[in-house]
C-alpha cells in the first residue's frame, strides 16, 4: 500500500470524484479527513470506514472551517502529509451572453470563492503542518483549465486560475512542500452549479455524457470517478515523484489530442442576440 499511515485531507470528499479519492486513498493505507458540506454523506463514509476517517462538515470558503479540518488531523493522527483541494462547482457552460447582468457579480464571486479561494484557504490552513511533515499539496483542476468549451467563462477562468495557483505555490513552498495538480476530463458525478445561477440543485449527472463519449473522448468512453483516482495516489505518495513539484497532469481521456472540427463557437451569436433583444423588447 503506497500510502500506509499517510494523513490526507480531501475537500469535497463526500461525493463524486472526492468520494472516489477518499475510498482509493483509504484502500492504499492512508488515514483520511473528508471535508465536505454534506453531513449525510459524511455520516455514510464514517459508518463504513470508522476510525480511519475523520468527517468534517464545513464550508471550503471559510478559513476557520479549513483550520478545523487540519486541527482534527493533528489531534487524531499527529500530523498532516497531504492536503487535496477538490471541492468545486460547475457553471453548466453558461456563456457570457446568457449571464444575466443582475446576477453576474454574485455568480462570479460564488464560482471563484468555491473553486479558487477554497483551495487557497486549504493551503493556508495546512501550510505549517505540511512544512513540518515535508508534505504535499494537490489540486483538482479540469480540462477547462487548458481548453475552451469545458465550461462557460466563469468556470473556465476559475480553473485557469488554479493552474497559476499551483505553479506559484510550487515556487513559494519549495523545497519544503511539493505542489501538484490533476486535470480530469468529463465525469458523471453529482457536481452541482452555483446557487446564484439557480443551479444548486442541478447535477452534471443529469447530462448523459456517456452517450457522446465515443465520439468526443479519444479513449472512446467516459471514465468513472474511480478511474481518475490513481493519479492522485501517485502525487500524494512519497515515492517516484521527487522531481514532480509544479507538474500538472492532464488526465482527461485525451482531449488535448482531438482533431480539429468546429473552429468557432460563436456561429449563431448574431441570431441569439437578435432573439434576446426581441424577448427584452429592444430593437
Confidence band (pLDDT; 50, 70, 90) for 20?
very high
- Whether 204 has a pLDDT exceeding 80, the answer reads no
Percent above pLDDT 90 for the chain? 69
CB-based burial, 182-215: b 16+ in 10 Å, e otherwise: bbbbbbbbbbbbbebbebeebbbeeeebeeebee
> Residue 115's pLDDT is what?
97
Q: List Cα–Cα distances, 15 to 39, 131, 281, in angstroms.
A: 11, 29, 44
As to burial, measured by CB atoms within 10 angstroms (0-12 exposed, 13-18 middle, 19+ buried), residue 75 is: exposed
Q: List Cα–Cα distances, 210 to 28, 74, 247, 255, in angstroms.
A: 29, 41, 29, 15
**Average pLDDT of the chain to the nearest whole number:** 90
CA–CA distance, 45 with 54 (Å, rounded to integer): 9
Confidence band (pLDDT; 50, 70, 90) for 254?
confident
Residues 6+ apart with CB under 8 A from 84: 8, 9, 10, 11, 21, 137, 138, 139, 140, 232, 236
Higher model confidence: residue 113 or residue 209? 113
Higher model confidence: residue 239 or residue 178? 178
- Whether 64 has a pLDDT exceeding 80, the answer reads yes
> Residue 197's pLDDT is what?
85
Q: What is the pTM of this model?
A: 0.89
User: Which residue from 230, 16, 25, 12 is spatially nearest to 122, judged by alpha carbons?
Assistant: 12
Higher model confidence: residue 202 or residue 183? 183
Confidence band (pLDDT; 50, 70, 90) for 112?
very high
Higher model confidence: residue 41 or residue 272? 41
Alpha helices in 59-217 (DSSP H): 63-77, 101-112, 118-133, 153-173, 209-216
Confidence band (pLDDT; 50, 70, 90) for 272?
confident
> Residue 201's pLDDT is what?
76
> Residue 152's pLDDT is what?
95
Confidence band (pLDDT; 50, 70, 90) for 283?
low
- Whether 5 has a pLDDT exceeding 80, the answer reads yes
Strand ranges in the chain using DSSP code E only, listed in sequence order: 7-11, 31-36, 53-57, 82-85, 136-140, 178-184, 248-251
Confidence band (pLDDT; 50, 70, 90) for 165?
very high
The three cell numbers locating residue 193: 452549479
- Average pLDDT value for residue range 148-171: 96
Q: Which of 243-247, 253-257, 277-281 has the highest mean pLDDT?
A: 243-247
DSSP 3-state of 109 = helix
- Average pLDDT value for residue range 253-278: 74
Active site annotation includes 119: no
Higher model confidence: residue 77 or residue 254? 77
Please pick, among 49, 119, 155, 228, the residue that the annotation labels catalytic: 155
Amino acid at each position: 500500500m503506497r500510502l500506509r499511515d499517510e494523513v490526507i485531507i480531501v475537500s469535497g470528499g463526500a461525493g463524486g470524484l472526492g468520494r472516489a479519492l477518499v475510498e482509493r486513498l483509504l484502500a492504499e493505507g492512508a488515514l483520511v479527513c473528508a471535508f465536505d458540506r454534506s453531513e449525510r454523506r459524511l455520516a455514510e463514509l464514517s459508518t463504513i470506514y470508522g476510525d480511519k476517517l475523520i468527517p468534517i462538515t464545513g464550508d471550503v470558503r471559510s478559513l476557520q472551517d479549513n483550520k478545523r479540518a487540519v486541527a482534527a488531523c493533528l489531534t487524531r493522527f499527529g500530523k498532516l502529509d497531504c492536503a487535496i483541494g477538490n471541492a468545486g462547482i460547475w457553471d453548466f457552460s453558461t456563456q457570457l451572453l446568457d449571464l444575466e447582468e443582475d446576477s453576474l457579480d454574485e455568480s462570479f464571486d460564488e464560482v471563484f470563492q468555491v473553486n479558487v479561494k477554497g483551495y487557497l484557504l486549504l493551503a493556508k490552513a495546512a501550510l505549517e503542518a505540511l512544512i513540518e511533515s515535508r508534505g504535499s499539496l494537490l489540486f483538482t483542476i479540469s480540462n477547462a483549465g487548458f481548453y475552451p468549451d469545458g465550461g462557460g467563462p466563469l468556470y473556465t477562468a476559475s480553473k485557469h486560475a488554479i493552474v497559476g495557483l499551483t505553479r506559484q505555490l510550487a515556487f513559494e513552498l519549495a523545497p519544503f512542500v511539493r505542489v501538484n495538480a490533476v486535470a480530469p476530463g468529463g465525469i458523471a458525478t453529482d457536481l452541482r452549479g452555483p446557487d446564484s445561477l439557480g443551479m444548486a440543485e442541478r447535477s452534471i449527472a443529469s447530462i448523459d455524457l456517456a452517450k457522446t463519449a465515443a465520439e468526443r473522448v479519444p479513449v472512446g468512453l467516459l471514465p468513472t470517478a474511480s478511474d481518475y483516482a490513481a493519479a492522485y495516489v501517485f502525487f500524494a505518495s512519497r515515492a517516484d515523484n521527487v522531481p514532480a513539484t509544479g507538474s500538472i497532469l492532464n488526465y482527461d481521456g485525451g482531449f488535448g489530442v482531438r482533431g480539429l472540427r468546429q473552429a468557432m463557437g460563436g456561429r449563431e451569436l448574431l441570431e441569439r442576440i437578435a432573439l434576446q433583444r426581441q424577448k427584452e423588447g429592444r430593437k
